[in-house]
């Protein structure tokens, strides 16, 4: 995101907006009071309104840029991360990915991880971890849910790519034909009962972190609802529309 704080063009834009807004308001006030439209440009109420609107715009801009900043580097950012315990943090994409990598590789709970494929998607996506205990029973009984549980319960032995213990059942790139599009909000009950290839590999988090980070870093949209990190034990990492 380009940062253009306090540029002359922005001040000009705010000035014109304030002028026009004040003019409309002043017209309305005049019309309501006298039944006539029209006022002098030197009118005291108009000048006060214009200055007031201008200051509100400047303050709003300042407030927005203060709130919407990466908590590490201060760059303007709309990406959010939800940590264990529900605390949220705002990060630029670079620092979002850095934190994701740290937290993801530190997770020792067993999890099913679905490659997000976000490098091919736009829109308000969420990459969300859902603990098994938080997933509705109805979802776990669906074909998709049963496949997820089967994958989770099959985790054992060593990582397919290194000598660490396997803690992840990984549905890698090209393996996610199904999609959470069309679901109503966050309801997992409505996941379509689609056919999906049940091909996954047992890995450790370290060996797939690069692939996941690649996909997350190439996402063209905004993580406005965030990347939701592992919490509450074993679960499923899945992309969905926010
Ligand atoms: Zn940053
Ligand atoms: Zn590994």
Ion ligand 1 — residues with CB under 5 Å?
A: 70, 72-73, 75, 92, 95
* Higher pLDDT among residues 218 and 40, named by residue: 218
Mean pLDDT calculated for residue range 165-181:
74
What separation in Å is there between the alpha carbon of 71 and the centre of ligand 1?
7
Query: 183 or 33, which is more confident?
Result: 33
Q: What is the pLDDT of residues 188-239, one digit of tens each?
A: 444 444 545 568 999 999 999 999 999 999 999 888 888 999 999 999 998 8
Which pair of structure tokens corresponds to residue 150?
């089967």
pLDDT tens-digit profile of 95-114? Answer: 999 999 999 999 999 999 99
Which ligand lies nearest to the CA atom of residue 160 in the structure?
2
Query: Would you place residue 184 in the very low, low, confident or very high pLDDT band (cuts 50, 70, 90)?
Result: very low
39-43, 156-160, 177-181, 229-233: segment of lowest average pLDDT:
177-181
Question: Who has greater pLDDT, 240 or 206?
Answer: 206
Cα(92)–Cα(51) distance, rounded to whole angstroms?
34
- pLDDT, residue 4, reads 44
Average pLDDT, the chain: 84
How many angstroms is it from 69 CA to the middle of ligand 1?
Answer: 8
* pTM, entire model: 0.70
The ranges assigned to domains in the chain are: 8-67, 79-241
Q: What is the pLDDT of residue 166?
A: 98
CB-based contacts of 182-186 (< 8 A; 24+ apart in sequence): 183/240, 183/241
Query: 208 C-alpha vs ligand 2 centroid, how far in Å?
Result: 8
Closest CA to 207 of 158, 171, 161: 161
For residue 73, how far is its CA from the centre of ligand 1 (angstroms)? Answer: 4
Pick from 210, 217, 185, 220: which is nearest to 113 by CA?
A: 210
State in Å: Cα 68 to ligand 1 middle. Answer: 11
Q: Which pLDDT score, from 0 to 100, does residue 198 have?
A: 62
* 27 Cα: distance to centroid of ligand 1 (angstroms): 46
Q: What percent of the chain has pLDDT over 70?
A: 86
* Largest interatomic CA distance in the chain: 84
Q: Which residue has the tokens 């029973």?
A: 137
* 47 pLDDT higher than 60: yes
Q: What is the DSSP letter of 185?
A: T
With cut-offs at 50, 70 and 90, classify the pLDDT of residue 9: confident
Tokens (6 digits) for 42: 């030197």
Looking at residue 191, what is its pLDDT? Answer: 47
Dig out the tokens for 6 from the structure: 């306090």
With CA atoms as reference, report the closest residue to 103 among 111, 61, 19: 111
pLDDT single digits (tens) 122-158: 878 889 999 999 988 888 888 788 888 999 999 999 9
Evaluate if residue 185 carries a pLDDT over 70: no
Q: Ligand 2 mean position to 121 CA, how many Å?
A: 27
């Amino acid at each position: 995101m380009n940062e253009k704080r306090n540029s002359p063009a922005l001040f000009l834009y705010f000035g014109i907006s304030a002028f026009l807004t004040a003019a409309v308001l002043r017209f309305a006030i005049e019309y309501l009071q006298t039944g006539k439209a029209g006022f002098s440009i030197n009118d005291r109420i108009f000048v006060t309104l214009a200055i007031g609107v201008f200051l509100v715009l400047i303050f709003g801009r300042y407030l927005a840029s203060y709130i919407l900043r990466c908590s590490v580097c201060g760059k303007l950012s709309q990406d959010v991360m939800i940590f264990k315990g529900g605390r949220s943090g705002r990060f630029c994409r670079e620092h979002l990915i850095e934190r994701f990598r740290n937290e993801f590789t530190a997770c020792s709970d067993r999890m099913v991880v679905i490659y997000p494929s976000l490098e091919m998607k736009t829109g308000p996506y969420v990459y969300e971890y859902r603990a098994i205990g938080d997933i509705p029973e109805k979802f776990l009984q669906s074909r998709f849910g049963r496949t997820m549980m089967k994958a989770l319960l099959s985790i054992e032995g060593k990582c397919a790519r290194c000598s660490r213990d396997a803690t992840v059942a990984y549905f890698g790139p090209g393996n996610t034909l199904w999609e959470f599009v069309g679901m109503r909000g966050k309801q997992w009950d409505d996941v379509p009962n689609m056919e999906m290839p049940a091909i996954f590999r047992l890995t450790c988090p370290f060996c797939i972190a690069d692939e996941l980070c690649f996909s997350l870093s190439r996402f063209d949209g905004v993580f406005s609802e965030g990347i939701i990190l592992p919490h509450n034990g074993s679960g499923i990492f899945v992309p969905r529309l926010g």
